[in-house]
């Protein structure tokens, strides 16, 4: 079974062909919507306020089929992104023509409205009302940052970002669902940008309260992690995968520019 959720979800309305061209699904364990196919994001936003509302449309690699994920509260991807199966692309919501929080999941052979395919057959999701479990439990990284004089709430993977725009981050702490994560930061102290010691999991935190951070490094000894940062008074920088601490390379950030937000996932 290949559902847009990780874990338990509920079918609230079946696929009925022309009468209802997709499946309506409601997350039980979580509300994050994940890509069920590898492909290119063609739409990500409120492009259909009278129908799908905020939605994501992905053109599948190979087949060219269009995968629709409708009625989101927000998207976690942008037009032009190439996404992989299981990647978070949005959060369930009730935008557009909707009577309650859910994800309308639909597959079309082409862009034509009448080219719908049987999403139940393709995905393996039963075409019957009820609660199901796709059995998938992804590895996750949980992280939080210190900004504005306090620790902000934990964030898991790319369901959101950790930080507040326009408030410099001065400390980070993180853990993963299985195994260890190592991370360190570079901060500004006594007119010098200096790398701080590596921290493992939440045994400590990386940083010193009151001193802004410009660079971050992360690595997972038994796997891979990707991460990116948002510049204070700037924008998001490209994703970095793992790091190479030789000569202090392989970091997320821009030298001398404090950061105010971070995202990471495994």
pLDDT per residue over 91-108, tens digit each? 999 999 999 999 999 999
Of 167, 104, 176, 113, the C-alpha closest to 140 is 176
- Tell me, yes or no, whether 1 lies in a domain: no
Does residue 11 contact residue 125 with C-beta atoms inside 8 Å? Answer: yes
Question: Are both 116 and 13 inside the same structural domain?
Answer: yes
Show Cβ contacts of residue 113 under 8 Å, excluding neighbours closer than 6 positions: none
Question: Are both 161 and 196 inside the same structural domain?
Answer: yes
The structural domain count of the chain equals 2
Does residue 6 contact residue 85 with C-beta atoms inside 8 Å? Answer: no
- Tell me, yes or no, whether 86 lies in a domain: yes
The pLDDT assigned to 189 comes to 82
Q: How far is CA 45 from CA 24, 91, 95, 197, in A?
A: 19, 12, 11, 41
Beta bridge partners of 217: 184
Question: Are both 111 and 72 inside the same structural domain?
Answer: yes
Question: Are both 32 and 88 inside the same structural domain?
Answer: yes
The pLDDT assigned to 121 comes to 96
Its domain, for residue 111, covers: 8-133
Whether 246 has a pLDDT exceeding 60, the answer reads: no
pLDDT per residue over 103-156, tens digit each? 999 999 999 999 999 999 999 999 999 999 988 766 789 999 999 999 999 999
Whether 171 has a pLDDT exceeding 90, the answer reads: yes
Q: What letter would DSSP give residue 178? A: S
Whether 86 has a pLDDT exceeding 80, the answer reads: yes
Question: Are both 172 and 213 inside the same structural domain?
Answer: yes
pTM: 0.58
The pLDDT assigned to 247 comes to 45
The pLDDT assigned to 244 comes to 59
């Amino acid at each position: 079974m290949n559902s847009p959720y990780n874990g338990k979800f509920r079918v609230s309305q079946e696929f009925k062909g022309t009468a209802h061209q997709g499946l309506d699904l409601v997350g039980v364990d979580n509300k994050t919507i994940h890509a069920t196919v590898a492909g290119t994001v063609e739409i990500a936003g409120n492009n259909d306020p009278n129908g799908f509302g905020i939605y994501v449309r992905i053109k599948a690699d190979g087949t060219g089929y269009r995968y629709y994920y409708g009625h989101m509260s927000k998207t976690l991807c942008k037009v032009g992104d190439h996404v992989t199966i299981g990647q978070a692309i949005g959060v369930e919501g009730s935008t557009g023509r909707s009577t309650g929080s859910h994800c309308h999941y639909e597959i079309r052979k082409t862009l034509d409205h009448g080219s719908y395919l049987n999403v139940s057959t393709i995905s393996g999701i039963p075409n019957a009302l009820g609660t199901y479990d796709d059995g998938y439990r992804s590895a996750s990284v949980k992280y939080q940052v210190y900004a504005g004089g306090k620790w902000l709430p934990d964030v898991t993977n790319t369901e959101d970002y950790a930080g507040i725009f326009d408030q410099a981050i001065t400390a980070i702490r993180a853990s993963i669902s299985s195994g260890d994560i190592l991370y360190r930061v570079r901060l500004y102290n006594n007119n010098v940008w200096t790398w701080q010691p590596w921290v493992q999991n939440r045994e400590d935190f990386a940083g010193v309260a009151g001193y802004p951070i410009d660079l971050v490094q992360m690595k997972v000894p038994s796997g891979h992690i990707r991460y990116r940062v948002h510049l204070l008074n700037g924008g998001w920088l490209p994703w970095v995968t793992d790091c190479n601490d030789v000569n202090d390379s392989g970091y997320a950030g821009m030298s001398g520019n404090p950061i105010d937000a971070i995202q990471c996932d495994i």
